[in-house]
């Protein structure tokens, strides 16, 4: 089922059972239960292919390859989303003494990863969107 939020981003709403039918076990654990894939194991960690990264759960466009950079952290890193209305942020206090900012898909509310600031990367925003590969699909451009 799809509805619209206040940013006019189409919203995808499904029951947990519907998500389980649509996603693999690993995709469900990360996207719907906020787990994390192991570092340096994801298919997009070192990818340099030009294109658009979409939410694996709902297909929403989230990031562009032009904002992807090598951070050597073990997960794909981006310095900004495609547009601010494509993601939403939640304060994550699941690790004691280490509050983080969780990044979710604005369209389907799937967990994507976390965003960190002030790490000193040479990027225009000084932000690192640390995103699980399993949360993304890459649609190559310029073929």
Per-residue pLDDT tens digits for 31-84: 999 999 999 999 999 999 999 999 999 999 999 999 999 999 999 999 999 999
Among 58, 108, 130, 135, the one annotated catalytic: 130
Please give the average per-residue pLDDT across 25-35, as a whole number. 96
130 counts as catalytic: yes
pLDDT at position 98, please?
A: 83
Fold classification of 2-140 is: 2.170.150
- Residue 3 confidence class, pLDDT cut points 50, 70, 90: very low
Q: Whose CA is closest to 19, among 55, 62, 58?
A: 58
- Residue 1 confidence class, pLDDT cut points 50, 70, 90: very low
Q: Provide the percentage of residues in the chain whose pLDDT is more than 70.
A: 92
Q: What's the CA gap between 103 and 92, in Å, rounded? A: 10
Q: Nearest 5 degrees, angle CA 54-CA 58-CA 62?
A: 30
Mean residue pLDDT of the chain comes to: 90
pLDDT at position 93, please?
A: 85
pLDDT at position 7, please?
A: 45
Q: What's the CA gap between 138 and 63, in Å, rounded? A: 9
């Amino acid at each position: 089922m799809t509805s619209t939020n206040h940013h006019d981003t189409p919203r995808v709403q499904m029951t947990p059972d519907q998500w389980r039918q649509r996603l693999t076990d690993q995709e469900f654990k990360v996207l719907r239960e906020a787990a994390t894939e192991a570092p340096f194991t994801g298919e997009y960690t070192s990818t340099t292919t030009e294109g658009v990264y979409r939410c694996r759960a709902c297909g929403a466009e989230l990031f562009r390859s032009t904002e992807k950079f090598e951070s050597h952290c073990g997960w794909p890193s981006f310095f900004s989303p495609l547009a601010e209305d494509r993601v939403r942020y939640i304060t994550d206090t699941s690790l004691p003494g280490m509050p983080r900012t969780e990044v979710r898909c604005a369209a389907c509310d799937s967990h994507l990863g976390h965003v960190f600031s002030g790490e000193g990367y040479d990027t225009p925003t000084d932000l690192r969107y640390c995103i699980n590969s399993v949360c993304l699909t890459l649609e190559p451009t310029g073929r």
